[in-house]
Amino acid sequence: MSKDRLLDIRRNNCNPMTMKITYYKKPVFINQGHMQWLWDVDGRRYLDLFAGVATVSVGHCNPKVTEAAEKQLRRLWHTTPIYVYPQIQEYAEKLTSLLPDPLKVVCFTNSGSEANDLAVLMARLHTGNFDVITLRGSYHGGSPQATGLTSNAEYKYPIPSSMGCHNTMCPDVFRGLWGGSHCRDSPVQTIRECSCSPGHCQANDMYISELKEMFTTTVPHRIAAFFAEPIQGVGGAVQFPKNYLKETYQLVREKGGICIADEVQTGFGRTGSHFWGFQGHDVLPDMVTMAKGIANGFPMGALVTTAEIARSFAKGVHFNTFGGNPLACAVASSVIDTIKEDRMQENSAEVGTYLLTGLAKLRDKYEIIGDVRGKGLQIGVEMVKDKVSRDPLPCEAMAEIFEDTKDMGVLIGKGGLYGQTFRIKSPMCITKDDADFFLSVFDQAVQ
């Protein structure tokens, strides 16, 4: 089929807002992938630093995972969890062994939105409370319930999907309430170490008092849950000040709520130093939701919680036809093995730090690169008009850099409150040579 015909069908028969094309001026027609590389229909190669939105964790068509999938495809594709089959127990054991006590009970879904929907339902059943708090700029999914949790304005609809959902200020030290210039020197940390005196972060204090204020005004009663990503993803790799999550978890628990870590982007070693993003904040959530990297692009999601919270379903059974089917479990199991055998988490830390350091040099070179941040391969590059105003770089300039980077052979993502942040979330198998290639391409594009 010709490219024009493909685009015609896409325009006429696919909903453009549920299937928005990212490089809309000159779309990429993807044909094939291997590890960190993609090829278009004309045979042009791209370094994929967006990984199908932080999803292809161990590389496109990773041979080990492909072999595991092929083996399972020949044995059994599907049956549902109403039966006992080895793959689901084996995977449940493998997955929960990666989480600390008492997070040992799993529910399988097909996506991150479903996992978060289930988390809200369970939190409400468990606590008997209704209200849920999320952070401004967050993305937690596209289902009716998850769009309520999501606060990122681009994904909000003028209908009441958000009953009982409230947003508190995102503790963004670059573009939030806080106008200070600290917490910006070292871009390679999960949480931004603060240079306020002594061991006391003014930005953190401000965001915590905003939350306390919310507990006296908008939600003065007891709550069901607090949701946060350990590093905000779609929001633009936003990192929180040290102790923010720790103090927030304490306040939430005092209000009767449970704490939920959305690890849909940050889980499975992406942040490098830890397998789960929450571990970088020194907190223990009551529930962890995950998807994306869990099965390298095979549709799967999960929620892991404590046995006590899981018992909330004694008040009503929950069923999911595909969640945890044999094929999904076999693929996801092989993803965990591959991350471990091929030291992908370690690679994420090493190449991520290398990339962040290189990007920080570009930040010092160009007035329009306002902030470089992230951890491992969860990276954000926030673009500004100038470093003093920190006003977002206009969309047209963002689009130009984005398209030029692609034309020079590298795919990256875009996000942030105003679409002003480039996002780098590559497969965890990229090399330092790949990082050098991207840095030189990005340098030219920004120039």
Minimum gap (Å) between residue 233 Cβ and ligand PMP? 4
Nearer to ligand PMP, 60 or 363 (CB): 60
Minimum gap (Å) between residue 110 Cβ and ligand PMP? 8
| Residue in 287, 306, 141 with CA at minimum distance from that of residue 226 | 287
DSSP for 248-297 reads HHHHHHHTT-EEEEE-TTTTTTTTSS-SSGGGGGT---SEEEE-GGGGTT
Nearer to ligand PMP, 188 or 291 (CB): 291
Alpha-carbon distance of 182 to 202, in angstroms, equals 10
- Residue ranges in contact with ligand PMP by CB under 6 A: 53, 111-113, 116, 139-142, 229, 233-234, 262, 264-265, 291
Minimum gap (Å) between residue 429 Cβ and ligand PMP? 21
| Chain position whose Cβ is nearest to ligand PMP | 112
Nearer to ligand PMP, 176 or 267 (CB): 267
Strand arrangement, sheet containing 37-40:
30-34, 37-40, 45-48, 410-411
Minimum gap (Å) between residue 235 Cβ and ligand PMP? 9
CB 146, CB 301: distance < 8 Å: no
Nearer to ligand PMP, 35 or 291 (CB): 291
Nearer to ligand PMP, 234 or 441 (CB): 234
Minimum gap (Å) between residue 141 Cβ and ligand PMP? 4
Degrees (nearest 5) of the Cα angle 383, 360, 55? 70
CB 78, CB 327: distance < 8 Å: yes
Helices 432-446 and 395-407, axial angle in degrees (round to 10): 130
Residue 342 has which token pair? Answer: 């091929």
Nearer to ligand PMP, 300 or 439 (CB): 300
CB 406, CB 414: distance < 8 Å: no
Minimum gap (Å) between residue 222 Cβ and ligand PMP? 25
Minimum gap (Å) between residue 36 Cβ and ligand PMP? 20
Nearer to ligand PMP, 201 or 258 (CB): 258
Name the strand (E) or helix (H) holding 357. Answer: helix 344-365
